[in-house]
Amino acid sequence: MKRLFIALPIALAIAAPAALAAFIFRVGDTVYVDGKRYGWEEWKKIRDNPELQKEPQPAASAPGAGPRAAACTTIIYYDEFPSEDERFQCTAGLGALTREQILEKGWKVDFVEKIPPPSNQPAQSPRGLPLYLYKLVISRYGG
């Protein structure tokens, strides 16, 4: 009898279908399910018929919103950090900007990476110092 009480819960646990859990959060008529955004009516349809689940509608972006992160890299190798008037080639459609222009546009520098030259390029400057490309990782708030 004792074995039956032990074996029965184990058998039920093995035979039971796997349960799926989702994090659901509702704010007004907007429902967030595992990080995806749905309207209330759309969510009710999906809740009643899970096969209808599809990609959520993108949220309306704030006016003037653009890229929130980018990288800016020097075009040539330097043996010391570039001067103020040197331009960095930036991603996210920003083009070539000086550090001052990057800051004026509301960006902040999060990280500076020194990238050594490939093996087929000289590794030292004529002054005997190591050469690097400098990469700035920049970001800004979207609002």
Is residue 47 a contact partner of residue 40, using CB atoms and an 8 Å limit? no
Q: Which tokens go with 115?
A: 């990238």
Whole-angstrom distance between the N-terminal and C-terminal Cα of the chain?
67
> Which pLDDT score, from 0 to 100, does residue 59 have?
46
User: Which residues partner with 88 through β-bridges?
Assistant: 97
DSSP three-state, residue 112: strand
Q: What is the mean pLDDT of each run of 10 residues along the chain (143 residues)?
A: 62 57 72 77 80 51 68 95 94 93 93 94 93 95 62
Question: Is residue 102 classed exposed, middle or buried when 0-12, 13-18 and 19+ CB atoms within 10 A define those classes?
Answer: buried
Tell me the residue type at 133.
L
Taking the C-alpha atoms of residue 45 and residue 53, their distance in angstroms, rounded to an integer, is 9
The predicted structure's pLDDT at residue 55: 47
Show the tokens assigned to 51: 């096969």
Entry pTM: 0.53
Assess contact for 63 and 73: CB atoms under 8 A. no
For residue 41, the model assigns a pLDDT of: 83
